[in-house]
Amino acid sequence: MTTMTATHSTPQNTTHTTTETSPAAPQHARPRYKVTGLRVLRSEWSKLWTLRSTWITLGLGLAFVIAFGVIAASQYESGGGPNDDLSDSTALGLSLFGLAFAQLAIGILGVLVTAGEYSTGMIRSTLAAVPRRLPVLWSKSAVFGAVALAVGTIGAFVTFPIVSELVSGTAAELSLSDDGVLRGLLGAGLYLGLIAVIGTALGALFRSVAGGIAVLVGVLLLVPGLTSLLPNSWEDEVSKYLPSSAGESMYALTHDAATLSPTAGLLVLLGWTALALAGAAYRLKRTDV
């Protein structure tokens, strides 16, 4: 640093000394990154795969689809038992037999994706990095929904050829080119993807792992059973609009008056998904962490 001294004379013959200091070399400031939707998505993607529970639960969900499908096909091929509920099944129905178990694994993991951050306190850091809050919810839902969609679709398309081989030559035999088979396999993956989003929304809405899981299990398993207590004229009209029944109509091979069409089932399930996300978004914006 160089210092220069100058002397000036005033009319009163008073001498003042001023010191001029050369400017210091500028320091490089740390770059400030703008929060964008793509960066939030990448952050949530990274957080999802750093959790051991993600790998374990997704593996269980995939195993449920494949293993239970093969077990059901083996049971059908061997002639069943005294209480055979598979006698009218098709290769598609047998392939997707494990979907009822996989939906629980996927839905519970969805709850953990959001509610887990509240239980550990990590949500404070997340929302400090993304002050607008809602992009966090959208990104978590989109990332995990896409992953669950991929897992469900892979499981369905891996199981179907195995099951088709096991039931070849029986009344249940189907091929991928038969009407409704391709739509059913894709619908199964889409169903698990939407269940994943619903689980994510419930975790953000209740902010409790236990509370979110309890509501998820109740909606998917308990409420459909309780509809049997309704009068018969009400039961059919109410039960087909439940999330599990609407989802089943998306991948079922055949439909009747008591079930929705695949398109109607998709729209109903999308409505349930939107409702869960709306509740989670409202609480995220209106209440503190």
In a domain, 222, yes or no: yes
33 pLDDT higher than 70: no
> Total domain count for the chain?
1
Containing structural domain, residue 278: 37-286
What is residue 30's three-state secondary structure? coil
Kindly tell me the number of DSSP H helices and DSSP E strands found in the chain: 12, 2
How does pLDDT run across 225-243, given as a tens digit for each residue? 888 888 887 888 889 999 9
The pLDDT of 255-264, averaged and rounded, is 89
Is the distance from CB of 235 to CB of 227 less than 8 angstroms?
yes
Taking the model in full, what pTM does it have? 0.85
111 pLDDT higher than 90: yes
What is residue 128's three-state secondary structure? helix
In a domain, 153, yes or no: yes
Which tokens is 96 given?
């997707």
- Residue 27's pLDDT band (boundaries 50, 70, 90)? low
14 pLDDT higher than 50: no
The H or E element containing residue 16 is strand 15-21
In a domain, 8, yes or no: no
In a domain, 12, yes or no: no
How does pLDDT run across 168-217, given as a tens digit for each residue? 988 899 999 999 999 999 999 999 999 999 999 999 999 999 999 999 99
Q: What's the whole-number average pLDDT of the chain?
A: 86
CB atoms within 10 A of CB 64: 21
In a domain, 32, yes or no: no
What is residue 235's three-state secondary structure? helix
In a domain, 244, yes or no: yes
In a domain, 18, yes or no: no
In a domain, 204, yes or no: yes
Beta bridge partners of 17: 7
162 pLDDT higher than 90: yes
- Rounded Cα distance between 158 and 164, Å, is 11
- Rounded Cα distance between 67 and 100, Å, is 12
**CA separation, residue 148 to residues 115, 144, 193, 207, 226 (Å):** 18, 6, 5, 21, 28
Q: What is the DSSP letter of 25?
A: P
Q: What is the DSSP letter of 260?
A: -
